[in-house]
Structure 1
Amino acid sequence: MFGLSVFLGIDLTEDKKQYLKEMKEAGFTSVFTSLHIPEEDADQYMQRLTDLASLVKKWDMELIADISKGALEKLGISIHSASSLEKLKHIGLTGLRVDYGFTNQEIAFMSNSLDIALNASTITEKDVEELVQYGANFHKMTAMHNYYPRPETGLAKEVFQQKNVWLNEIGFTVASFVSGDEELRGPLFQHLPTLEDHRELHPLAAALESLKDCAVDAVYIGDPTISAVTLEQFKHYIQEDTILFHVEPINHSPYFERILGKHQNRWDPAKDVLRSADARFKEITEIEPHETSSRFRGAVTLDNNRYQRYMGETQVVVHELPADEKVNVVAQIKKEDLSLLDWCVAGSQFELKN
């Protein structure tokens, strides 16, 4: 599952509404927001929350808000009253992400009215025991990690993995954040990832690492926006299970158009390259040697007639390889997309686009 973040420091603009609509159309199903701005006027903040909730509800998306006990009180919501909590559901809020300031007894009570996200990084066995004791509805509870605005404070992958495996074992679904790559959130403007190693990484590559290698079930974009190009890549992955790479021709290759389009990495994956499963079996004309240069990571190659029956084989280089007179270097994946290569595994579908 994929989600995005919308922050309520200012009113929802038409641009932000359009962005939210485009994310929904791409396949994003959940929205995260924060209610941790004490200097804001409570009435104004509630109006912004109501406006956002109305849009999210219209597009059949979930809305979860990071909240403190004090912020709830400023909004006139009592955590000890089911009818008061129902007000949040009525405006379209589906869940609360709770952290410091709430007791496990209060959290258990709220979980019988709203979906509740706990702090995935800090929850302990004792917390779980107490939540059971106080009658928490675990069907309405998830574990959500923080994002970390300050560089050098994000989590290490090993710790993240270990915690998530434990959380999965006791029945929690796990959510985390990856950076955006367009508008960043102030005051630091240093990205909002959960893992420190994801701070500058391509958002989709970070999301795929979280989902495929770190026992994560849901990934949210932490920063306010991603670029239109990155959004297109998420859309391809969510809707078509395809990793989209952007490529540029090498030395005006006459074979550039040939390598564009959809491919599938073979089910018996090679160590150093992605091998297009059916490229050699397409009807082809003679492929003459052209630009048989060194093959850097992300190079797209086409075997020429010197490779005899392999002529026409299309590959994407994962690990740098030397020049080979039998292999034409036709195109190069753009630098910003190279990290996606690590997640194009056996049988993965991928597309090369100019």
Structure 2
Amino acid sequence: MRNLGVSIYPEKSDVEKDKQYLTLAKENGFARVFTCLLSADKPKNELVQSFKEIIFYAKELGMEVILDVAPTVFDRLGISYDDLSFFADIGADGIRLDAAFDGKREAALTYNAYNLKIELNMSNDIDYLNNILSHQPNKENLIGCHNFYPQKYTGLPYDFFVKCSERFKDQGIRTAAFVTCQGGTMGPWDINDGLCTLEEHRNIPIHVQAKHLWATGLIDDVIIGNGYATEAEIVQLGALNRYILELDITLEGELSDIEKAVVLSEQHVRRGDITEFLVRSTEVRKKYIDSSIAPRSPQKQEVGCVVIGNDNFGKYKAELQIVLKELPIDTRKNNVARVNSDQVFLIDYITPWRTFIFKESSN
């Protein structure tokens, strides 16, 4: 199950605005809430009051709440690792361990009396998880989540992110990572250049960040790290297909009804015997074998172009292709659309036999 989440910071925000934000998120299919005790430095009774009200509101909405903690939080609040009642009493569903223990401690925490989830920090390429698993934890209560990085140029590089994530995914552990909204200024610290996991995400649209994380096949839950995302961003994320790679496209010229149907109304599957020049969706040929696709004025085939075989292409009529390398003009193909420039990189994730769809861009 893939989920969306938002982050709230009760020690820095207004409770009524937080409630409105959570309500909007829930209405758009969000199911998780991240919040942080690392930066909360108020007295214990004040923390309980500020966190408890908003956490219980999230619970009324049916949302899962995970609290970010570290050994310093346990020490500051006088919480015993053998008694997690403090977190249960304020309504949390789990705690995220920002810092590691010795493996044995994490395993023991998964058997806590309140059945709280124990979320591990995924942003380290070390044998941390296997150490915990060697101590026989309750895997039902074990989940993982990457860090976010408030300072620009400090986020994870992609290859490192993959290695870290694979350690958890290979063990069947539920995973999560952060994306950043572009206008949000709220986070746990005084520096907030965006709160994303991957550095390459910092300045791209939030829905493209989410598509990328899901396209990797390594991340289950996508959480907005900073606040507040705009209503438009929340709605756009909520409308995403979480399981099929969906590419936003701009249609080229006036398309026939058949061309529009091939592009926008079909689920496409890349052939298993791939070529380096094209993504080929060939099953659609069968459905439209008796339909006419009139040739259009031929154009150069550039990377990201979407083309369809026309009536001059014989048995390949109605085959849909995405261009991977620049190709010469071919009068047998009609240029019908172009993948939006900020999503061309996602074409690399259309692996053999992978299903993908197109959505006409609203821009």
1:248 Cα shift?
2.7
C-alpha contact (below 8 Å) 1:117/1:144 kept by paired residues: yes
| Aligned partner of residue 263 in structure 1, secondary structure | coil
1:94 Cα shift?
0.9
- Aligned counterparts of 1:263 and 1:184: Cα–Cα separation in 2: 40
- Aligned counterparts of 1:21 and 1:316: Cα–Cα separation in 2: 39
1:77 Cα shift?
5.8
TM-score (norm 2): 0.76
Match of 1:11 among 14, 38, 46: 14
1:332 Cα shift?
2.4
1:216 Cα shift?
4.1
- Aligned counterparts of 2:184 and 2:216: Cα–Cα separation in 1: 27
1:347 Cα shift?
4.1
Which residue of the partner structure matches residue 65 of structure 1? 67
Q: Following superposition of structure 1 onto structure 2, how do residues 185-196 of structure 1 map, counting pairs within 5 Å? A: 185=186, 187-196=190-199
- After TM superposition, the structure 1 stretch with the greater mean CA deviation from structure 2, 91-100 or 340-349, is 340-349
AA partner of residue 53 (structure 1): I
Q: Does 1:289 align with 2:312?
A: no
Cα offsets for 1:277-312 (capped at 9, x unmatched): 32562353451323x212233323233333244333
- After TM superposition, the structure 1 stretch with the greater mean CA deviation from structure 2, 270-279 or 5-14, is 270-279
- Aligned counterparts of 2:238 and 2:87: Cα–Cα separation in 1: 30
- Aligned counterparts of 1:206 and 1:34: Cα–Cα separation in 2: 22
Which residue of the partner structure matches residue 228 of structure 1? 232
Q: Does 1:304 align with 2:320?
A: no
1:87 Cα shift?
4.1
Which residue of the partner structure matches residue 33 of structure 2? 31
Q: 1:137 to 1:331 in 2, by over 3 A?
A: closer
- Aligned counterparts of 2:219 and 2:226: Cα–Cα separation in 1: 19
1:124 Cα shift?
5.7
C-alpha contact (below 8 Å) 2:125/2:164 kept by paired residues: no
Q: 1:324 to 1:125 in 2, by over 3 A?
A: closer
1:41 Cα shift?
6.4
Cα offsets for 1:152-175 (capped at 9, x unmatched): 222233333333444456675443
Which residue of the partner structure matches residue 341 of structure 2? 335
1:69 Cα shift?
4.4
- Aligned counterparts of 1:319 and 1:156: Cα–Cα separation in 2: 25
C-alpha contact (below 8 Å) 1:208/1:343 kept by paired residues: no
C-alpha contact (below 8 Å) 1:181/1:227 kept by paired residues: no
Q: Does 1:351 align with 2:358?
A: yes
Q: 1:312 to 1:99 in 2, by over 3 A?
A: closer
TM-score (norm 1): 0.77
Gaps of 5+ in 2: none
AA partner of residue 99 (structure 1): D
Q: Following superposition of structure 1 onto structure 2, how do residues 15-164 of structure 1 map, counting pairs within 5 Å? A: 16-38=18-40, 40=42, 43=45, 45-71=47-73, 78-80=79-81, 82=83, 85-100=84-99, 107=106, 110-111=109-110, 112=112, 113=114, 114-122=116-124, 137-164=138-165
Question: What CA RMSD, in Å, does the superposition of the two structures yield over aligned residues?
Answer: 3.8
Match of 1:314 among 320, 323, 348: 320
AA partner of residue 57 (structure 2): L
Q: 1:39 to 1:130 in 2, by over 3 A?
A: closer
- Aligned counterparts of 1:217 and 1:30: Cα–Cα separation in 2: 12
- Aligned counterparts of 2:344 and 2:184: Cα–Cα separation in 1: 22
- Aligned counterparts of 2:73 and 2:108: Cα–Cα separation in 1: 18
| Aligned partner of residue 51 in structure 2, secondary structure | helix
| Aligned partner of residue 241 in structure 2, secondary structure | helix
C-alpha contact (below 8 Å) 2:108/2:137 kept by paired residues: yes
- Aligned counterparts of 2:133 and 2:308: Cα–Cα separation in 1: 59
Cα offsets for 1:87-129 (capped at 9, x unmatched): 4323321111123496767656644143222323358658965
How many residue pairs end up in the alignment?
346
Which residue of the partner structure matches residue 203 of structure 2? 200
Identity %: 23
Q: 1:160 to 1:258 in 2, by over 3 A?
A: closer
- Aligned counterparts of 1:177 and 1:336: Cα–Cα separation in 2: 19
| Aligned partner of residue 54 in structure 1, secondary structure | helix
C-alpha contact (below 8 Å) 1:280/1:310 kept by paired residues: no
Q: 1:322 to 1:95 in 2, by over 3 A?
A: same
| Aligned partner of residue 8 in structure 2, secondary structure | coil
